[in-house]
Amino acid sequence: MTLPIFVGYDIREHAAWLTCRESLYRPLRINVPQDVDIHVLNVRELRRVGVFTRPWRIDEKGQYWDDRDGRPFSTEFAHSRFLVPALAAEMGLTGWVLFCDCDFMFLDSPTDLLKDLDSSKAIYVVKHDFDRVVEGVKMDGMLQQKYHRKLWSSLTLWNLDHPQVKAYPSTALANHGRGGDLHGFTGFDDKDIGALPEAWNWIPGHSSGDIRPAAVHWSFGGPWLPEYADTSYAKEWQAIYDGVFQNYPVSQTLPLV
């Protein structure tokens, strides 16, 4: 069964996107083509076709600010990720679809996520506990914020056949909902949200070293940033990135997605 995957794209993290895409097609521990269908959430294209209309601004320091709720946010796909149910339905998709941030690298097959899922759940996420996160500035200069269910939305399996997901006002919320409510999955009770093993959203500097990662998520900063050249799994990331440049024409390494 083909797994549809939507990946959030940020032009500032084009290198991360290239590596994430390659690792979805050929996970590091498998390195054979996977049965996946990848779709990029490029905010420029979404605006061009009129699907995403949420207004924001960028200040003199490069910080993104949302004009809907006046709050800062970190990536171009911070809100557009919640279009996934609507976009998937419009494409005629059913069953499970996956969203992930572009700063992921998959070591194991993403299709393994489909094993032993409970169809009574509306969504599945890794339920990180980020109560200890201190608000401040991330290494990429973006503001760090605390909010309910922080980082749960960075990797989400949506059950398109579930009544709650079918009724989820995806387009309206992505364009008008409060950022904190979106990322906190307001409207979904805990019983509606299934828990994935933390291995699928393994965060250097947060997740236990005793966990064997299935997917590495550089939420605090990744190997494409000079400050994180020696972070966990940086060598593996670099190997995939170098392979991208060998496997694709140079023109395809440009941010034309």
CATH number at 164 reads 3.90.550.10
3-state secondary structure of 36: strand
Could you list the residue range(s) of the whole structural domain that residue 117 is in? Answer: 3-253
Mean pLDDT score, 55-62: 92
Which DSSP symbol is given to 254? S
**pLDDT given at position 66:** 95
CA–CA separation, 26 vs 47, rounded Å?
30
User: Residue 253: pLDDT above 60?
Assistant: no
Radius of gyration for the chain, computed over Cα atoms and rounded to the nearest angstrom = 17
Q: What is the bridge-based pairing of β-strands 36-41 and 56-58?
A: unpaired
Give the closest residue to 93 by CA, choosing from 208, 3, 191. 3
Each residue of 161-215: pLDDT tens digit?
999 999 999 999 999 999 999 999 999 999 999 999 999 999 999 999 999 999 9
Q: What percent of the chain has pLDDT over 70?
A: 88
Give the closest residue to 153 by CA, choosing from 208, 98, 109, 114. 98
Place of tokens 């490069």: 62
Query: pTM, whole model, 2 decimals?
Result: 0.90
**Four-point Cα dihedral 174, 177, 179, 183, nearest 10:** -70
User: Residue 52: pLDDT above 90?
Assistant: yes
Each residue of 123-161: pLDDT tens digit?
999 999 866 444 444 444 444 455 567 799 999 999 999
Count of domains forming the chain: 1
